[in-house]
A and B are shown apart, each in its own frame.
Chain A
Amino acid sequence: MELAEEKLDEHHLDKNEVVDVVVRFAGDSGDGMQLTGSNFTQATALYGNDLSTFPDFPAEIRAPVGATFGVSAFQIYFGAEDVTTAGDAVDVLVAMNPAALVTNIGNLVTGGLIIVDSGAFTAKNLSKAKYESHPLEDGSLAAYRILNIDIHKQVLAAVEPFGLSHKEALRCKNMWTLGLVMWLFDRDRSATIESLQTKFASKPAIADSNIAALNAGHIYGETADLPAGIHVYKVPKAKVSPGIYRNVTGTQALAWGLVAGSEMADIDLLFASYPITPASNLLHELTNLKEFRVNTFQAEDEIAAVCAAIGGSFAGSLGITSSAGPGIALKAEGIALAAASELPLIVVNTQRGGPSTGLPTKTEQSDYNMALFGRHGDTPIPVIAASTSIDCFDVAMEAVRIATKYMTPVMLLSDGYLANAAEPWKIPAVDSLPSFPVKHYDDPTEFKPSIRNEETLARVWAKPGTPGLEHRIGGIERSYDTGDISYDPDNHQKMTNLRKAKVDGIASDIPLQEVCYGNSSGRLAVVGWGSTFGAIHQAVKRAVAEGLDVSHIQVRYLAPMPSNLGELLANFDAVIVPEMNSGQFIRTIRSEFLICADGVNKVAGQPFKIGEILAAIHEKYQELD
């Protein structure tokens, strides 16, 4: 199916109370937009709205000032109802310079609010953004509300008492702007003040200046004579179940899920990785968690990383490696070694735009085929995918369980969007987490490395250092009976069958596929996997509210798939499969279940919008009628 032309929602900033709002902070990569956004997120969570965020930054670390390709943005969607995406269209755009305005205006709703720093709208910056005339003066922004403030001037005045240099003083302009936006939505500044004090503990003048700027922005909102239609907006608190909450990004949740998995499995982790965007943050998180049973190793390359993880698993730890598409490609031979030698291994793929270097900071789901089929030989491995930032926690624990119970490599799919996006998380009670303790084999009586569990088909985990268990393993085919090298044709068939049966058998040890929203049979099922969850969920919810018979099914277990999935899909007249690739999972759906499914595909480096999925639902529904 072709993606429908998107229609932006009408503005809703006329009212004093709004159900939900999308705010987008955009500026130079050096303007501190990510910090601004994360502080606003914190305050919004504390306020009690549900929220979802989307940090959208360029690959360039410090692009030339004012350049369009250097614009870094942070989008947050918050509201009184459940929020599962970072929002389709933007209600409030903060543009710190002309480049930020020109690259983000296209997504602003008619009647939306633009906050601009007129101090940055110099002739030079306008020309860098390729504006032929001054957009604040030529009437081209007439369809929007504009708050045009010389933030440069305001900030310099606010921080003047602290004696910073001109350059340092201007760095506080993001906090001034944050203060203003916090006023706009009635947010409490105390958490931001606290975090500034911690962040700049050793530089009190910087901390004080930033706090002064934050407060000054807020006061400006309270006292200045603002244009009509710009006022404080109330966003009612979301109804959420009681508990202790925190914000968490997918990367944090994944790291903590691995740590929790190690505790539940009662096993040490060896995390070996080579830096690559957007996967490196997982290494950064885990390297700071060595107080748990975690050690980390920054290897010399992707291959060394997977190999060190495999070595760790051979020695009795759980080896984990992590990368993005190009790096996972390099690890393929190692993954097959772990499969052949039947050692546990977790491979985390934080997918990004491809092929090759592709779009390193943008998101995509185009490594499904590689995860399932991208190995030499007949080498099945389990593959599971996280669907939201907080789901990364559960999926990481599940990867630990499957890898250790079945002595197999497990591929865990995340993506650039999930890794960086934050959402509020009701912190689970540690006592309620399922435990799955691992036992290394230690009985030397008639020991053979080929002894396996009859039920799971998992080989014994006999680690070096255990007396009487000395044995050799490797990549050469081994005898089913003895574990010694074997070139016997019948044995190779038997071992090939065994490797398949072992992975297939996991299907009986995972939950049956459930319908996340809607009925378990009906006219149309929207089937997704991974980070498309949020957009599909909202689109299906809206379609159901319109009276359509639509259900949402999100598949976590991609290999093996839940045993009832085929049966479940057969209950629907039609199936559509949205994916951020050109149609990968859908091939499996079609070939495994022999059903006619339609793909909804987007490969733009950006997550799906709710409206795009909804339009696809409408289109398919019309065909059915």
Chain B
Amino acid sequence: MNQALPTLTLKDFASDQEVRWCPGCGDYAILKTIQKLMPRLDTPKENQVFVSGIGCSSRFPYYMNTFGFHTIHGRAPAIATGVKLANPELDVWVITGDGDGFSIGGNHMMHVIRRNVDLNILLFNNEIYGLTKGQYSPTSQVGTRSPSSPTGSIDSPLSPCLVALGSGSTFISRSIDTEAKHLTEVVKRGHDHRGASFIEILQNCPIYNDGIFEQVKDKKIAPDFRVELSHGQPIIFGKESEKGITLNRDSLELEVVSVAGNEGKLLVHDETHKIQAQLLATMTGPDFPVAVGVIYREEKTSFVEDSQELVQKARIEKSSLKSLLHSGHTWEVK
């Protein structure tokens, strides 16, 4: 086990398959970031497993030169749970989208999170159905015009990070497809976390929902519309870092204030504070900046560790098939 891992590069993690996403898709940037991150992780290449469901994002495993399983719609968390239970040594990734992970597969997502199965879950959220040609998704904003909602969608969207929080998540984070450096660090931290790491990646679909995250992505205006969280640091944003967040202790609501004059009152990010995590995950524009970074984390044993413990306990004493078949009442006929 102490043998040094061979030095690998991005290329070692790129498969020989032609990438077939649309030109300009945010998925390209995410793929490159993950391929580049792989050599930095302390896991042998043969132990990396990417499991996906159905949708544009779920093609991801085909492009990774690792073990991969492109499965059925919404079920990647369940299949990944089986993979991890069968071999806890593996580093198991779930690649999913807003439709796959929160519509058809919402149930599995909720349970894999509450069990704290040791998986790295990457949710590519583009707020639209891509592969089925542009229908609104469970994260689409009300009024989204699509082939199935020509006059605008009428269902309210859900917030993936809040669902994760409500499901008892021990690691919730958010990043952006094209912010390679930020995404790398968030994914790296998720990977190192014990249990289910939930990572929402805001991803642009240039064909069916182009520009939906422009405010948080456009370098010119993004500083005013997103805030990068850093544990132990005051929550500040804006081009000149002139704005900050405070908590109104009477209304239990967050407020945007100017840093000047409020230095001592600014909310300091505490990744382990669940109530604060909820407030931060809820923030949306235009009144509030969108929080990116690690929103919440909690130390807890993972489901697979607990399951292994039960198995190990049961196996302390050796049993034989013969003794099993002869257990309880038996009688001999001569």
- List chain B residues, Cβ under 8 A from A484: 17
Which chain A residues border B325 with CB–CB below 8 Å? 246, 256, 427-428, 430
Q: Is the CB of B83 within 8 A of A244?
A: no
For residue B70, which residues in chain A have a CB less than 8 angstroms away from its CB? 472-476
Query: Is A580 among interface residues, defined by CB-CB distance under 8 A?
Result: no
**Chain A neighbourhood of B78, CB < 8 A:** 299-300, 303-305, 307-308, 311
Closest to B61 in A: A472
B330 in contact with A268 (CB, 8 Å): no
Q: Which residues of A contact B89 (CB under 8 A)?
A: 465
CB-defined contacts of A236 to chain B, threshold 8 Å: none
Would you call B329 and A46 a contact (CB within 8 A)?
A: yes
* Of B44-52, B136-144, B256-264, the one touching chain A: B44-52
- Which one of B15, B46, B78, B328 has the highest number of Cβ atoms from chain A below 10 Å of its Cβ? B78
B86 CB contact (under 8 Å) in A256, A260, A311, A473: A311
Beta-carbon contact of A247 and B329 below 8 Å: yes
Does B321 sit at the interface, judged by CB under 8 A?
A: yes
Answer whether residue A334 sits at the interface, using C-beta atoms and an 8 A cutoff: yes
* Distance, CA A297 to CA B15, complexed state (A): 33
Residues of chain A with a CB closer than 8 A to B69's CB: 311, 314, 341, 472-474
Interchain CB contact under 8 A, A471 and B333: no
Q: Are B66 and A470 in contact (CB under 8 A)?
A: yes
Min Cβ gap A352→B in Å is 24
Q: Does B71 contact A (CB under 8 A)?
A: yes
* Cβ-defined contact, B82 with A295, below 8 A: no
Check if B41 is an interface residue, CB within 8 A of chain A: no
Q: Are A308 and B324 in contact (CB under 8 A)?
A: no
Contact check, A300 vs B111: say whether CB atoms are below 8 A apart: yes
Cα distance, A244 to B108, chains bound together (Å): 46
CB of A284 within 8 Å of the partner chain: no
Query: Is A162 in the interface zone, CB < 8 Å from B?
Result: no
Report yes or no: A291 in contact with B47, Cβ–Cβ below 8 A.
Answer: no
What 1/0 flags go to A271-305 for Cβ under 8 Å of B?
01000000000000000011110010101110111
A106 within 8 A of B: no
Q: B54 to chain A: which residues have CB within 8 Å?
A: 475
A interface secondary structure, majority: mixed
CB-CB contacts of B167-189 with A at 8 A, as 1s and 0s?
00000000000000000000000
B86 with A316: CB separation less than 8 A: yes
- With a cutoff of 8 Å between Cβ atoms, the chain A residues found around residue B329 in the complex are 42, 45-46, 191, 246-247
Identify which of B121-129, B193-201, B307-315 touches chain A.
Answer: B307-315
Write the chain A residue with the least CB distance to B87: A315
A492 contacts chain B at the CB level, 8 A cutoff: no
Which listed residue, A240, A300, A470, touches B67 by the CB 8 Å rule?
A: A470
Nearest Cβ in chain A — how far from B230, in angstroms?
Answer: 35
**Residue among A297, A308, A430 with the most chain B CB within 10 A?**
A308
B72 touches A307 (CB 8 A): yes
**CB distance A301 to B107 under 8 Å?**
yes
A19 to B111 Cα, complex, angstroms? 56
A290, A291, A311 — most chain B CB neighbours (10 Å): A311
Which residue of A297, A337, A428, A430 contacts B72 across the interface (Cβ within 8 Å)? A337
Closest chain B CB from A332 CB (angstroms)? 11
Q: Which residues of B contact A317 (CB under 8 A)?
A: 86-87
CB contact under 8 A between A472 and B87, given known A290-B310, A304-B108, A310-B79: no
Within 8 Å of chain A (Cβ to Cβ): is B10? no
For chain B, the count of residues having a C-beta within 8 Å of the partner chain is 60
Given A311-B81, A428-B325, does the pair A475, B86 have CB atoms closer than 8 Å? no
Contact partner, A463, options B75, B87, B107, B324, Cβ 8 Å: B87
Interface of B is mostly: mixed
Task: Please determine whether A295 and B311 come into contact, CB atoms closer than 8 angstroms.
Answer: yes
For B331, give its contact among A245, A299, A316 (CB under 8 Å).
A245
Q: Mark A301-330, 1 if CB is under 8 A from B, else 0.
A: 101110111111111110100000000000
CA distance A263 to B319 in the complex (A): 12
Whether A427 contacts B330 in the complex (CB less than 8 A), given A292-B321, A314-B79, A315-B86, comes out as yes
Taking the complex as formed, is A357 at the interface, i.e. its CB lies under 8 A from any CB of chain B? no
A470-500 interface mask toward B, CB cutoff 8 Å, 1 = contact, 0 = none? 1111111000000011000000000000000
- CB within 8 Å for A466 and B46 given contacts A45-B331, A246-B328, A291-B314: yes
Contacts of A473 in B (CB 8 A): 68-70
- How far is the CB of A191 from the nearest CB of chain B, in Å? 6
A244-B330, A244-B331, A295-B311 known; A465+B87 contact, CB < 8 A: yes
Q: In the complex, which residues of chain B have a beta carbon less than 8 angstroms from the beta carbon of A474?
A: 61-62, 68-71
Contacts A472-B69, A474-B69: A464 and B332 contacting too (C-beta < 8 A)?
no
Q: Which residue of B lies closest to A43 (CB)?
A: B329
C-alpha spacing A293/B243, complex, angstroms: 58
Q: Are A245 and B321 in contact (CB under 8 A)?
A: no
Q: Which residues of B contact A48 (CB under 8 A)?
A: 333
In the bound assembly, the distance between CA atoms of A62 and B77 in angstroms comes to 37
* Residue in A191, A464, A469 whose CB lies within 8 Å of B87: A464
Give the docked Cα–Cα distance between A260 and B221 (Å). Answer: 65
Answer whether residue A333 sits at the interface, using C-beta atoms and an 8 A cutoff.
yes
| Chain B contacts for A341, CB-based, 8 A | 69
- Contacting B at CB under 8 A, from A251-279, are 256, 259-260, 263, 268, 270, 272
What is the CA–CA distance of A109 and B115 in the complex, to the nearest angstrom? 56
User: Is B71 a contact partner of A245 (Cβ separation < 8 A)?
Assistant: no
State whether the Cβ of B116 lies closer than 8 Å to any Cβ in chain A.
no
For A241, what are the chain B residues with a Cβ–Cβ distance below 8 Å? 333
Q: Is B334 an interface residue (CB 8 A)?
A: yes
Closest chain-A Cβ to B69's Cβ sits at a distance in Å of 6
A220-262 toward B: CB 8 Å interface, digit per residue (1/0)? 0000000000000000000011111111000000001001100
Tell me, in angstroms, the Cα distance from A305 to B79 when the chains sit together.
9
Q: Which A residues are in CB contact (< 8 Å) with B318?
A: 291
Whether the Cβ atoms of B71 and A289 lie closer than 8 Å is no
Are A465 and B321 closer than 8 Å at their CB atoms? Answer: no
Inside 8 A of A303's CB, which chain B residues have their CB? 75, 78, 108
Contacts of A307 in B (CB 8 A): 71-72, 75, 78-79, 82, 108
CB distance from A289 to the nearest CB of B (A): 7
Chain B residues whose CB sits within 8 angstroms of the CB of A263 once the complex forms = 321
Residues 410-431 of A at the B interface (beta carbon under 8 Å): 427-428, 430
Q: Tell me whether A464 and B326 are in contact (CB under 8 A).
A: no
B72 near A245 with CB under 8 A, answer no
Known A-B contacts A246-B330, A295-B85; A290 and B311 likewise in contact (beta carbons under 8 Å): yes
B111 touches A472 (CB 8 A): no
Q: Which residue of A lies closest to B75 (CB)?
A: A307
Residues in B290-325 with C-beta less than 8 Å from chain A: 307, 310-311, 314-315, 317-322, 324-325
Interchain residue pairs with CB less than 8 A apart (14):
A243-B332, A245-B333, A272-B82, A291-B318, A297-B82, A299-B111, A311-B78, A315-B86, A319-B86, A334-B72, A337-B72, A464-B90, A466-B46, A475-B70
A interface residues, Cβ below 8 angstroms from B: 42, 45-46, 48, 191, 240-247, 256, 259-260, 263, 268, 270, 272, 289-292, 295, 297, 299-301, 303-305, 307-317, 319, 333-334, 337, 341, 427-428, 430, 463-476, 484-485
Chain B contact residues, CB within 8 Å of chain A: 15, 17, 44-49, 51, 54, 61-62, 64-72, 75, 77-87, 89-90, 107-108, 110-111, 307, 310-311, 314-315, 317-322, 324-326, 328-334
Q: Which 8 A-B pairs have the closest CB atoms?
A: A311-B82, A474-B70, A308-B82, A307-B78, A290-B314, A315-B86, A472-B68, A304-B78
New A-B pairs, 17, CB < 8 Å, besides A316-B87, A467-B44, A472-B70: A259-B324, A289-B324, A290-B314, A300-B78, A304-B78, A304-B111, A307-B75, A310-B79, A311-B84, A312-B85, A315-B83, A464-B46, A470-B65, A472-B62, A473-B70, A474-B62, A475-B72
